[in-house]
């Protein structure tokens, strides 16, 4: 019985991941997933210091932690590699034109601004579960709870 639950968990996790990746890749040129990137392809984009900072800002906005230096050092290359892997692109740490376009056009979760409460103190508003429903996430949570309950005994 435990094996069945573990298998169902893996199926739900797989479904959830593929659904999320498909949502992220909507409208992205299919060649983005196959075309390799290297120093030459990145040089062809013509990224100056300001444009490199824009790439770093975008990565930060997408939840990838890096510094705004305007230079692509080892840390930034590692972050680009993680972004590429998370999106299913060939992971090299370098960008090509298609990946650069995909990065800049990827939707970013909007942050709500701070507001004042009745005491005059500022507080952050939390965004409540907006966005499209994700059945894979729900199933993953349910199956994960069941599996966690079984193995916790």
Residues 59-117 pLDDT 10s: 999 999 999 999 999 999 999 999 999 999 999 999 999 999 999 999 887 655 544 44
Number of domains in the chain: 1
Q: Is residue 137 part of a domain?
A: no
Q: Is residue 144 part of a domain?
A: no
- pTM, two decimals, is 0.57
Tell me what pLDDT residue 33 has: 87
> Is residue 151, in this structure, part of any structural domain at all?
no
Longest dimension (CA), the chain: 58
């Amino acid at each position: 019985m435990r094996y069945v639950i573990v298998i169902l968990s893996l199926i739900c996790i797989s479904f959830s991941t593929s659904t999320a990746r498909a949502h992220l890749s909507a409208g992205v040129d299919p060649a983005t997933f196959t075309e390799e990137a290297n120093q030459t392809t990145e040089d062809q984009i013509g990224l100056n210091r300001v444009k490199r900072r824009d790439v770093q800002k975008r990565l930060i906005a997408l939840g990838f932690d890096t510094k705004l230096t305007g230079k692509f050092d080892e840390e930034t290359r590692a972050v680009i590699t993680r972004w590429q892997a998370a999106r299913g692109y060939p992971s090299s740490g370098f960008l090509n034109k298609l990946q650069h376009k995909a990065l800049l056009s990827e939707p970013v979760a909007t942050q709500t601004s701070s507001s004042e409460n009745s005491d005059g103190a500022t507080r952050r508003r939390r965004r409540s579960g907006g966005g499209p429903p994700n059945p894979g996430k729900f199933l993953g949570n349910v199956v994960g709870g069941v599996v966690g309950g079984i193995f916790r005994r």
